[in-house]
Amino acid sequence: IPRPPRAGKTHRIMRLEIPRDCERIGSLQIYGLQKVYELDGGTGPHENDSMVERVPGEVLHDRMREMAIVVPVKNERLKLIEGVLVGIPSPCQVIVVSNSPRGPVDRFGLEKEALENFGRFTGKKILVVHQKDPGLAQAFGNAGYEHLLDETGIVRSGKAEGMIVGTLLSKWLGKKYLGFVDSDNYFPGAVQEYVNEYAAGFAMNPGKNTFVRISWHSKPKVMENNLFFAKWGRSSVNSNAMLNRLLTQFSGFETEIVKTGNAGEHALTVDLALKLEYAAGYAVETHHYMNLLEQYGGILETTDPDVLREKVTICQIESRNPHMHESKGDDHVEDMIDASLSVIYHSPICPELLKREIMDNVRARRGEAAPAEVAPVRVYPSLSELNLDEFMAGCDASLNFNAVTVRA
């Protein structure tokens, strides 16, 4: 296709709402949900007004060049994984952390081959690593972070564990920002949108400690032969409600600011990711909120005053594409809710009154089967406990040869 003559540069612009509300708790600020007005607002004027921010495409791409997108994989269909990669804008470094079996069928081998080919065609920067790579486990061991290893000395299974691996590999590759995108998303366009919103969030909040969380506008479901676009899933309703109750009890003012209590689609600065605890299982996202409140909320007396001087920002953006991922059955939705509520319940900052409300919630959902107390979930200590230099040396020594297909 011949290139059209160009009259100077075109500046694609993304238009988003400027958040209206903000809750401040210690040095943590939580901004209200921001709507996206135009994914591509053309090349119009650059000025912002008081309601709408215009983020130029160049600015988005600048952020993406410093961003790693971690894609956790376990036994997904190759077509789905490939679709997700199609949606990730090319300036980003992709990090695929796979926990797919290597036998009897070597699914990981197939993934690696497919991704290698894809990387070659598109010129995308893709790093593929297996969660159970012995070199990786050794790097964790040498760095004094055995928490992640099982009895056999290999990294444990689980998405949260894969996220921790991805976080550290982002650091290894020298990235400043880190975003997560599940590998079972049906719509490349949704993935592309999430990454643009991550970049917009970082552009609007240039601090060292920024957390961008996505709330889906809708999730399509088939009901009585029609498509129905649900806005809130049951697990987000419950975790958002309890997080908002918690904030309400701290400030004495009722709030509904939290809309992304278990937002799987999220991005944060690598600096912040290295300071946070990760909970295992379904609780990882809700626990990030709790851990931010514990570390930066000024609620616990033991908090280090230096830490409290650091400003931390949570930015919540409402995406426009419907979110649709591989349906794996809804059997575990009650467990997901319990896991999210458990990290709130077992937090040292959870007031007695809220503990009672949480148990009322559990009993209302579980009836006779409700336990006397929600079971605690495994929480991995902050990565600040890991010796970064040792970890990086371990990656340098082993990953280049074992696990990396295409590197930056």
Residues that bind ligand GDP (CB under 6 A): 72-74, 76, 97-99, 131, 157-159, 162, 182-184, 325, 328
Select the binding partner of residue 195 from Co ion, ligand GDP, none (C-beta < 5 to 8 A, by kind).
Answer: none
Task: Choose between 234 and 355: whose C-beta lies nearer to Co ion.
Answer: 234
Task: Choose between 182 and 357: whose C-beta lies nearer to ligand GDP.
Answer: 182
Task: Choose between 327 and 387: whose C-beta lies nearer to Co ion.
Answer: 327
In DSSP notation, 180-211 reads E--TTBS-HHHHHHHHHHHHHHHHH--SSSEE
Q: Which amino acid is at 49?
A: D
373: tokens are 């107390």
Shortest reach from residue 182's CB to ligand GDP, in Å: 4
Task: Choose between 28 and 268: whose C-beta lies nearer to ligand GDP.
Answer: 268
Residue 112 CA to residue 406 CA, distance in Å, equals: 10
> Closest residue (Cβ) to ligand GDP?
162
Select the binding partner of residue 281 from Co ion, ligand GDP, none (C-beta < 5 to 8 A, by kind).
Answer: none
Shortest reach from residue 55's CB to ligand GDP, in Å: 28
Q: Using an 8 Å Cβ cutoff, are 261 and 240 in contact?
A: yes
3-state SS assignment for residue 290? helix
Contact between 76 and Co ion per CB under 5 A = no
Select the binding partner of residue 97 from ligand GDP, Co ion, none (C-beta < 5 to 8 A, by kind).
Answer: ligand GDP
Select the binding partner of residue 217 from ligand GDP, Co ion, none (C-beta < 5 to 8 A, by kind).
Answer: none
Select the binding partner of residue 158 from Co ion, ligand GDP, none (C-beta < 5 to 8 A, by kind).
Answer: ligand GDP
Judged by CB under 5 A, the stretch of 113-121, 181-189, 303-311, 351-359 that binds Co ion is 181-189
Residue 333 CA to residue 133 CA, distance in Å, equals: 31
The candidate with the shortest Cα–Cα distance to 394, out of 163, 168, 107, 83, is 168
Per-position b or e across 163-175, b if 16+ CB within 10 A of its CB: bbbbbbbbbbbeb
Shortest reach from residue 325's CB to Co ion, in Å: 4
Going by the DSSP 8-state scheme, the letter that residue 314 receives in this structure is: E
Q: Which of 217, 311, 325, 355 binds Co ion (CB under 5 A)?
A: 325
Q: Using an 8 Å Cβ cutoff, are 182 and 264 in contact?
A: yes
**φ, ψ at 67 (rounded to 5°):** -115, 140
Judged by CB under 5 A, the stretch of 123-131, 187-195, 318-326, 363-371 that binds Co ion is 318-326
Q: Which of 133, 184, 265, 357 binds Co ion (CB under 5 A)?
A: 184
Q: Using an 8 Å Cβ cutoff, are 386 and 116 in contact?
A: no
Close Cβ partners of 330 (under 8 Å, ≥ 6 residues apart): none
Shortest reach from residue 2's CB to ligand GDP, in Å: 41
Task: Choose between 75 and 255: whose C-beta lies nearer to ligand GDP.
Answer: 75
Shortest reach from residue 34's CB to Co ion, in Å: 24
The candidate with the shortest Cα–Cα distance to 169, out of 356, 354, 403, is 403
Residue 224 CA to residue 162 CA, distance in Å, equals: 37
8: tokens are 């100077």
Select the binding partner of residue 218 from Co ion, ligand GDP, none (C-beta < 5 to 8 A, by kind).
Answer: none
Select the binding partner of residue 183 from ligand GDP, Co ion, none (C-beta < 5 to 8 A, by kind).
Answer: ligand GDP
Task: Choose between 98 and 313: whose C-beta lies nearer to ligand GDP.
Answer: 98
Residue with tokens 């040869």: 401
Task: Choose between 181 and 204: whose C-beta lies nearer to ligand GDP.
Answer: 181
Per-position b or e across 70-109, b if 16+ CB within 10 A of its CB: bbbbbebeeebbbbbbebbbebbbbbbbbbbeeeeeebbe
Task: Choose between 176 and 221: whose C-beta lies nearer to Co ion.
Answer: 221
Residue 53 CA to residue 46 CA, distance in Å, equals: 9
Select the binding partner of residue 157 from ligand GDP, Co ion, none (C-beta < 5 to 8 A, by kind).
Answer: ligand GDP
The site for Co ion (CB under 5 A) is made up of 184, 325
